[in-house]
């Protein structure tokens, strides 16, 4: 059915939503759409033992979300099914053999429908906090993005249990969280929450109607940026301290932050041209104007983390001929808090590799997962050490590259020849 875009006229004929059907003036429609989006404020818990239709060999779509490790050594992996659109759902699996194999999907977050409009979960992040609890931050929005979204958190106190239990979801704020929190030297947790511009708004309604770039939630326009939240009570409460907005080439933000040795905060954000960097010297309250990052990169998610040695790890796409291409997933090191970068361990030179996330294990090994192909593709894992990155080639016995951990049906068939 042909989609109709509400930006093109001042009136729109709206198909029934629930039991409501009427011809609306454009502005009256937005009032109604705002009311419909209130459904996204209802908490929806994770559901255990998802039905087979969510399995990647049936759904045939995988988009990388995140991965982390419990204190005992279990790995938890999250990815999106359904598509990079309003049909997105989140799936979780675990590994008890260091990532050699992963379980079938153990949990799903699918918030369901309002009439025929899906509540998407299109941004999420797994994180093991300093006490060993496993957090899942996830978004919930009417359609692809309703102009407000919502950052939710649920916690598993014993992620190594045979039957892990998750707390009731709590809504922290608007927007979404893609990347792990940062623990500062004084124990404060910093969470980077992105609130997208309204050009990302996309709500597909029944009868083929589509809402894009509407005026929904104008009261949030001043906060459409990367917002920095802190918690000083182990995540019981969060408060906003400031924000940083990309002024040129803004897109999905996807921020990652480290604390520098001098106490300043160093922030990287995705842009249309690659990556932008900013610095705050007052605990996130104010920020330098974002400027282009030193290394060329694709407009895609990257992974930034401080290692146990004190060096900083960066994993990003690094195509040597065309930096805009999502290929050549490569790891780099910095010994001066991101001012310069060395090494360059090539993890995967294939096209359509993207969205890395990972962690460092207590033994020093670095685990990174990312996706390859998405539609009909796979989630892939790499294992390596700091020494491998510094050398720019595998030098340790621990290196594992291009190891598929979650495969769609088509990827399985291709692997079988």
175 neighbors 191 (Cβ within 8 angstroms) = no
Each residue's pLDDT tens digit, 202-259: 887 655 566 777 778 999 999 999 999 999 999 999 999 999 999 999 999 999 999 9
313 neighbors 303 (Cβ within 8 angstroms) = yes
* Interval 80-86 mean pLDDT: 97
Task: Take residue 269 and report the two structure tokens written for it.
Answer: 């954000």
For residue 393, CA distances in Å to 24, 61, 142, 344, 390 come to: 62, 31, 45, 8, 8
Q: What's the rounded Cα separation, in Å, for the pair 62 and 376?
A: 8
What pLDDT does 17 receive?
A: 43
- Domains in the chain, start-ordered, CATH in brackets? 26-416 (2.120.10.10)
Q: What's the rounded Cα separation, in Å, for the pair 385 and 363?
A: 9
Each residue's pLDDT tens digit, 162-200: 999 999 999 999 999 999 999 999 999 999 999 999 999
What pLDDT does 206 receive?
A: 59
Q: What's the rounded Cα separation, in Å, for the pair 386 and 162?
A: 33
Residue reference for tokens 């709590």 = 170
For residue 3, pLDDT beyond 50: no
| pTM exceeding 0.75 | yes
What pLDDT does 30 receive?
A: 67
For residue 105, pLDDT beyond 90: yes
Each residue's pLDDT tens digit, 296-342: 999 999 999 999 999 999 999 999 999 999 999 999 999 999 999 99
Give the end-to-end CA distance of the chain in Å, rounded to a whole number. 37
Q: Is the dihedral of CA 293, 294, 295, 296 positive or negative?
A: positive
- DSSP 8-state assignment for residue 131: T
Considering only residues 116 and 42, tell me which one the structure prediction assigns the higher pLDDT. Answer: 42
Q: What's the rounded Cα separation, in Å, for the pair 254 and 196?
A: 10
For residue 7, pLDDT beyond 60: no
Task: With H, G, I as helix, E, B as strand and everything else as coil, classify residue 241.
Answer: strand
């Amino acid at each position: 059915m042909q989609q109709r875009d509400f930006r093109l006229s001042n009136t729109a004929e709206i198909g029934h939503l629930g039991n409501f059907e009427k011809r609306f003036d454009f502005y009256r429609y937005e009032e109604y759409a705002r009311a419909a989006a209130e459904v996204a404020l209802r908490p929806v818990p994770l559901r255990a033992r998802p039905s087979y239709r969510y399995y990647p060999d049936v759904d045939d779509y995988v988009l990388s979300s995140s991965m982390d490790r419990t204190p005992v050594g279990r790995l938890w992996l999250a990815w999106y099914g359904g598509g990079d659109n309003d049909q997105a759902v989140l799936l979780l699996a675990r590994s008890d053999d260091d990532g050699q194999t992963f379980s079938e999907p153990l949990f799903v977050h699918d918030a369901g429908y309002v009439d025929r409009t899906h509540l998407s979960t299109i941004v999420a992040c797994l994180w093991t906090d300093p006490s060993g609890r496993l957090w899942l931050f996830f978004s919930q929005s009417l359609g692809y993005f309703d102009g407000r979204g919502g950052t939710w958190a649920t916690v598993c106190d014993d992620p190594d249990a045979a039957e892990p239990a998750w707390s009731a979801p709590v809504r922290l704020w608007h927007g979404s969280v893609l990347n792990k929190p940062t623990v500062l030297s004084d124990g404060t947790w910093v969470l980077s929450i992105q609130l997208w511009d309204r050009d990302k708004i996309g709500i597909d309604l029944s009868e083929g109607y589509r809402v894009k770039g509407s005026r929904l939630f104008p009261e949030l326009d001043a906060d459409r940026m990367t917002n920095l939240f802190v918690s000083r009570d182990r995540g019981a409460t969060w408060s906003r301290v400031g924000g940083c907005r990309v002024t040129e080439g803004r897109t999905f933000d996807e921020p990652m932050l480290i604390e520098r040795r001098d106490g300043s905060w160093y922030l990287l954000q995705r842009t249309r041209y690659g990556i932008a960097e900013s610095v705050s010297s007052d605990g996130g309250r104010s920020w330098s104007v974002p400027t282009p990052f030193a290394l060329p990169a694709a407009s895609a998610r990257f992974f930034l983390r401080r290692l146990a040695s004190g060096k900083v790890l960066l994993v990003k796409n690094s195509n040597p001929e065309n930096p805009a291409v999502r290929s050549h997933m490569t790891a780099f090191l910095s010994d001066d808090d991101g001012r310069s970068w060395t090494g360059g361990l090539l993890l995967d030179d294939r096209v359509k590799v993207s969205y890395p996330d990972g962690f460092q294990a207590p033994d020093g090994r670095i685990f990174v997962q990312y996706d390859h192909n998405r539609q009909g593709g796979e989630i892939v894992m790499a294992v390596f050490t700091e020494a491998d990155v510094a050398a720019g080639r595998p030098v340790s016995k621990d290196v594992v590259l291009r190891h598929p951990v979650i495969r769609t049906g088509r990827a399985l068939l291709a692997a079988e020849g």
